[in-house]
Structure 1
Amino acid sequence: MSIETEQPVASPLGAVEQRGIEPVPEAERNGNPMELFWVWFAANISVVGLPLGVSLVAAGLNIWQAIVVAFLGAFGSFAIVGVISIAGRRGGAPSLTLSRATFGVRGNIGPTVVALLSRLGWETVNTATAALAFVTMCSIAFGTGPTAKSVPVLTVVGVVLFVGCTISVSGMGHAFILIVQKWATWIFGAINLFVIAFLVVEVNWSAVFSAPPGSVAIVLTGIGTIAAGTGIGWANSGADMARYQTPAVKGSSLIASAAAGAGIPLMLMISMGALIGSSDADVLASPNPLEAIRETLPLGMAVVYLIVSFVGLLLSNHLSVYSAGLVTITLGFRLRRTYAVLVDVVVTTAASLSFLLIADSFYGPFITFISLLAVPIVAWVGVFCVDMIGRSTYDEVALLDLSRRSAYWYRGGIAWPAFGSWIAGIISGATFMQVQPGEAAWFTGPFHETWAGQNGLAWMVSLLVAGLAYAALGGARRREDAR
C-alpha cells in the first residue's frame, strides 16, 4: 500500500497527539494568528539568542549596529516563515507534506532530508546549550570546571537530563504547545526584561560606547547570519503549526504574527548578547558562552536565570522535535509521530555530546552550521513561494499517495522544473560561500571574493536563483487541485 492511511484524531490538552501528516479536517481548523504569536515568541526567547548577539560583536559590530542587524535579520526572516504559514492555512498539512505538490513524491525527498537535518541540527544546538547551562550552574554551586570538556561527566548528565525532559513532553501536541507557549512568553519575557534592566545598570558602558562601528560589509554579513540563525532555520516548518488556522485568516495576519512573535524576543535576546559581548572582551573567547551569565550577574540571579534558560530551551526544543517528527513521517517512514520523536532524540543526544566534548569552540561550528543549511533551505523557499503564487488548494488524497497513481507523481515521481531549480539555487549559493568552522577554511567557492560573497549573501543568491529559475520554467502558473 502506497497511501499513508493513518487517520488519528487530534487530542486534547494533556493527551498524546496522534495526528500525523494527514491534512487537518476543516472542522478542526479553528486557530487564530494570536495563537501563533505566542508560539513563536516563546520558541525564540531562549538563551540561544545570546551567542548570536555575541557573534555579532565578535565579527566587529558595535552595540547599535548589532541591534539594527537583529531587527532586520529576525523580523525579516520570520516574515518568510509567515509566508510559508499561508500554505499551511490553505492545505491543512505540514510544510514538507505540502511540498510534495511542488516537487513531486520523490523529488520532495531532497528538501525533506534537508529539513530533517535542520531540525536535528537545531535540536543539537538546543541540547548542547542546555548542557552548558547545567555545567555553568554546577560551576557556581559546586566550584566545578566552567567548560564542557573540563567536566565531561557533568556534561553527559546535562545532556541526558535535557533529553529526558524533552522525551517527557514530546508526545504532547498542538493544544499543549498553544497553552504552554503562551504562559512561557509572559514568564520568561518578564525575567529577561529584569535581567536586561540589571545589565543596563551594571555593564561597562565605557567599553560599550568605545567600540568602533563595523563596515557595511560586516553589517550585511550580520543580517545574513541572524536571518540564517533565526527565521530561515524555521522556514520549512512554517505550515506545521499554521495547519490548524481557520481558512478565513488573512495571509497578512499570519505573516505579522510570525514576524512580530519571533522578532520581538529575538531582538531582546540578541541585543542582550551583544551588550554582554561589548562590555566584556573575555566572553568572545570563551568556549562556554553561558559563562558570561556567571560573570555578569550576581550568583543567586545567575543560578535562577540559568534554570529558566534550561526550561526555555526545552520549550524551543519541543517545538523543533514536533516538526522533526512530522518531517520524518513525510520521508515515508511508517512511524507514529511519538516513535519518530524517540529516533530523533537518540540522534541529537549523540550529536550534542560530540559537539560539546570534541569541538574546540562554540561559535565556529555554530555559525558554520546555520550558514551551510541556509542555502538549501532558502532555495526551497524560493521554489515553494513561487509555486504558492499559482496554487490556492492542495489535493489531500494526492498528498498522502506515494504511488504512481498520485496526482503529484509527475515524471518519475519528480517535478523536474521545481527540483532542478532547487538544485540550481543550491549550486549557485555554494559558489559564493566559504565554510570555515575554525582557523582553516574547509571550502571556498569560486565567487567568494565577489561583493556578494564577501558580504555573506550566498543565501540571497540561492533564494533568487531558485525562485527566478522556477518562475521562468512556469512555476507560477495558475493551478487548482481538487480537494
Structure 2
Amino acid sequence: MSSINTSPFLSVEERTGKPKELFAIWFASNIGFLGLVYGAMIVGFGLNFLQSILAAAVGALSFALVGYLSLSGRDTGGTTFLLSRAAFGINGNFIPNFLGWLNLIGWLAVNVVTGTLILLSLFNSFGIRQNKTITIIALVIFVALILVSNIFGQDYLVKIQTILSYVFGILTLFILLILIPRTNWNQLFAMKNGSWLMSFLPAVSIIAAGTGISWSIAAADYSCYQKPNTSSASVIASVTFGAFIPLFVIMGAGILMSTSVPDLATASNPIQAIGKALPKWVTVIYYITALGGFIPQCLISLKSAKVSLETLNINVSNKTAITVHAIIMILLPIYVLFISKDFLGNFQIFLGLLGIGLAAWAAVFLVDYKYIRKNLGYKEELLTNKDMNSVNRKGVFSWFAGVIVGLLFTNCSFFSGPFAKGMFKDNSLGILLAFIVSAVVYYILIVITKENKGVKNNA
C-alpha cells in the first residue's frame, strides 16, 4: 500500500516528465493565428522590414524568462505561485496570486469568445447562418472541448499538446504558405527606418508583455513534472524554443501580411480579416486551423488557473474547480456576445493593466530564485507555515514599487499615468519598467543587505 503524499511538492515518483514534453506544451500554445496580428502591430510602430523581424525575434525570445523560471519547478516539484510564497510570504503572496488567477481566467474567457466566433465562421462556411441558438451551440461546443481535455491528468495533457503541435503546426504552415505569396514585396522593402528608442523598443515591449512575461505565471506549473536530474540547459531550451519557433514564424508571416491586409492590426475581428484574404477553397481548412490554434492556449490557461486557485487556499475538489471555471467561461462570453460587445475591448485593456502587476511579480520571483532559492532551495515551512513566513516585506515592497512606477508610465482608454507621454504613450513600456524596477529594488534589498527570509534562516 503506497503512502499518501502530504507535501506541497510532487513526489519523485510523480515526476517522470522529459524536456520534449515541455517543448510540445509551449509549441502548441503558440501556434495561434493571433501571432499574425502581433507581426502587423510591430510594423505599425514605423519600423522597416529588418527592424520588424528583429523586434519579432527579440520579443519572442522573452520566453527565455519562462524557460529560466521553469527551473524552479524542476528543482522542487512545486507549482509557480506555491513557490512564490517564499519571496512574498504566504499572506503577502495573495494579491499577486489573485492577479495571476484573474489574468489566466480573464484571457481564457476572451479566447473562448474568439474561439466561438471562429466556430460560427466555420458554420457559416457550411451555410449555417448565425443566430442566438447557433451562437449558444458554438459556445457550448468550444467550452466542452476545453473542459473534457482538462478532466484528465498531466500525461494526457502532454499527449494532447503533442498531437495538436503536429496537426495544427502543419496546417498553420500550409495556410502561411498560401498567405505569404500575396505579400507586396516592393512596399515591404520600401518601409523606412524607425527609431530604435521610440519605435523598436516599444514594439519589443508589447510583444514581450503579451507573450513571455504574461506566460511566466505558469512556468513551474508544467516543469514541476520534470525529473529532478533533468539538465537546466534542456529545460530552458525546450521551453524557450518550443514557444519561440512557432511564435517567431507566425509573427514573421504577420509582418509580410501587413502589406496585403493593411487593417490586420486594427481589425475588430482579425481572424475574419485573415480569412477574407484567402481563396474560398481553403476557408474551411483555415477556420479549423484557427480553432485548433486557440484550444492549446485555453487548455494551458485553464489548468494553470485551477492551480492558482489552489494556492489561494481556496480548497475545493477538482470537480468544483472545473465547474467554477466553466461557469465563468460561459457567462462572460454570453455577456460579450449578446449584451455588451464594447465590454470585450475594455476588459482586454483591464487585463493589459494586470500585466503590470504580473511583470513586477515575475521580476521579484526571478531575482529570488536566482540569488537565493537556486542555492538554498525552498524549505517547505516557508511555503506552508504562516508563523514563519506570513509576509516577506522586502518582496511585497519591491512588487509595489514596480507596480506604481509601471502605472505612472502607462495609459489606456480609461487610465492615463502622468508620465505616459512620448515614447511611453500607447505601448507596454510601463510593463517593462515595472519588471526592471521591481527586480532592481528586490536585488538591493535581499542581495546587498543579505537580509531575507531564507538567507538568515538558511531556508
- Contact 1:63–1:278, Cα closer than 8 Å, also in 2: no
Range moving further from structure 2, 380-389 or 296-305: 296-305
What is aligned with 1:94?
79
Q: Does 1:395 align with 2:382?
A: no
Of 412, 420, 423, the residue aligned with 1:448 is 420
1:92-142 alpha-carbon deviations (Å, 9 max, x no partner): 111001111211111110110111011012212321221121122233332
Distance 1:467 1:203, change over 3 A: closer
Aligned pairs for 1:450-469 within 5 A: 451-452=423-424, 456-469=428-441
What is aligned with 2:244?
263
What is aligned with 1:352?
333
Of 198, 204, 225, the residue aligned with 1:223 is 204
Task: Provide structure 2 residue ranges, at least 5 long, that are not aligned to the other structure.
Answer: none
**Residue 58 of structure 2 aligns to which amino acid in structure 1?**
L
What is aligned with 1:15?
none
What is aligned with 1:433?
410
Aligned residues: 448
1:349-372 alpha-carbon deviations (Å, 9 max, x no partner): 22333444523497x658735631
Distance 1:242 1:270, change over 3 A: same
- Contact 1:73–1:226, Cα closer than 8 Å, also in 2: yes
What is aligned with 2:108?
123
1:468 & 1:53 partners in 2: Cα distance? 31
Aligned pairs for 1:105-144 within 5 A: 105-142=90-127, 144=129
Q: Does 1:246 align with 2:231?
A: no
1:174 & 1:482 partners in 2: Cα distance? 33
**Residue 383 of structure 2 aligns to which amino acid in structure 1?**
L
How far off its partner does 1:213 sit?
A: 4.8
Distance 1:427 1:153, change over 3 A: farther
Distance 1:125 1:271, change over 3 A: farther
How far off its partner does 1:479 sit?
A: 3.4
Distance 1:98 1:355, change over 3 A: same
- Contact 2:202–2:423, Cα closer than 8 Å, also in 1: no
- Contact 1:425–1:466, Cα closer than 8 Å, also in 2: yes
How far off its partner does 1:62 sit?
A: 5.1
1:161 is paired with a residue of what secondary structure?
helix
2:137 & 2:188 partners in 1: Cα distance? 36
**Residue 49 of structure 1 aligns to which amino acid in structure 2?**
G
Of 154, 158, 161, the residue aligned with 1:178 is 158
What is aligned with 1:200?
180
How far off its partner does 1:163 sit?
A: 0.8
**Residue 67 of structure 1 aligns to which amino acid in structure 2?**
I
Q: Does 1:470 align with 2:442?
A: yes
1:105 is paired with a residue of what secondary structure?
coil
Of 201, 211, 217, the residue aligned with 1:236 is 217
Aligned pairs for 1:291-306 within 5 A: 291-306=272-287
Q: Does 1:163 align with 2:139?
A: no
Q: Does 1:479 align with 2:455?
A: yes
- Contact 2:51–2:193, Cα closer than 8 Å, also in 1: yes
What is aligned with 2:11?
25
2:44 & 2:425 partners in 1: Cα distance? 19
**Residue 29 of structure 2 aligns to which amino acid in structure 1?**
A
Range moving further from structure 2, 367-376 or 320-329: 367-376
How far off its partner does 1:259 sit?
A: 1.3
**Residue 373 of structure 2 aligns to which amino acid in structure 1?**
R
2:40 & 2:347 partners in 1: Cα distance? 12
How far off its partner does 1:32 sit?
A: 2.6
How far off its partner does 1:306 sit?
A: 1.0
1:303 & 1:312 partners in 2: Cα distance? 14
How far off its partner does 1:45 sit?
A: 0.8
Distance 1:204 1:361, change over 3 A: farther
Q: Does 1:378 align with 2:363?
A: no
1:38-82 alpha-carbon deviations (Å, 9 max, x no partner): 11101111223233233334444455443322211111x211111
2:456 & 2:239 partners in 1: Cα distance? 27
Distance 1:122 1:330, change over 3 A: same
TM-score (norm 1): 0.85
What is aligned with 2:268?
287
1:461 & 1:206 partners in 2: Cα distance? 37
- Contact 2:206–2:429, Cα closer than 8 Å, also in 1: no
2:368 & 2:416 partners in 1: Cα distance? 32
Distance 1:365 1:299, change over 3 A: farther
Range moving further from structure 2, 415-424 or 132-141: 132-141
What is aligned with 1:424?
401
**Residue 23 of structure 1 aligns to which amino acid in structure 2?**
F
- Contact 2:183–2:259, Cα closer than 8 Å, also in 1: no
- Contact 1:31–1:246, Cα closer than 8 Å, also in 2: yes
Q: Does 1:67 align with 2:47?
A: no
1:461 & 1:199 partners in 2: Cα distance? 36
How far off its partner does 1:429 sit?
A: 0.8
What is aligned with 1:187?
167
- Contact 2:172–2:289, Cα closer than 8 Å, also in 1: no
Aligned pairs for 1:146-157 within 5 A: 153-157=133-137
- Contact 1:136–1:294, Cα closer than 8 Å, also in 2: no
2:57 is paired with a residue of what secondary structure?
helix
2:117 & 2:323 partners in 1: Cα distance? 23
How far off its partner does 1:274 sit?
A: 3.2
2:258 is paired with a residue of what secondary structure?
helix
Range moving further from structure 2, 347-356 or 57-66: 57-66
2:270 is paired with a residue of what secondary structure?
coil
**Residue 380 of structure 2 aligns to which amino acid in structure 1?**
E
TM-score (norm 2): 0.89
- Contact 2:356–2:403, Cα closer than 8 Å, also in 1: yes
- Contact 1:42–1:315, Cα closer than 8 Å, also in 2: yes
State the percentage of identical aligned residues.
32
What is aligned with 1:56?
42
Task: Provide structure 1 residue ranges, at least 5 long, that are not aligned to the other structure.
Answer: 1-6, 10-19, 146-150, 437-441
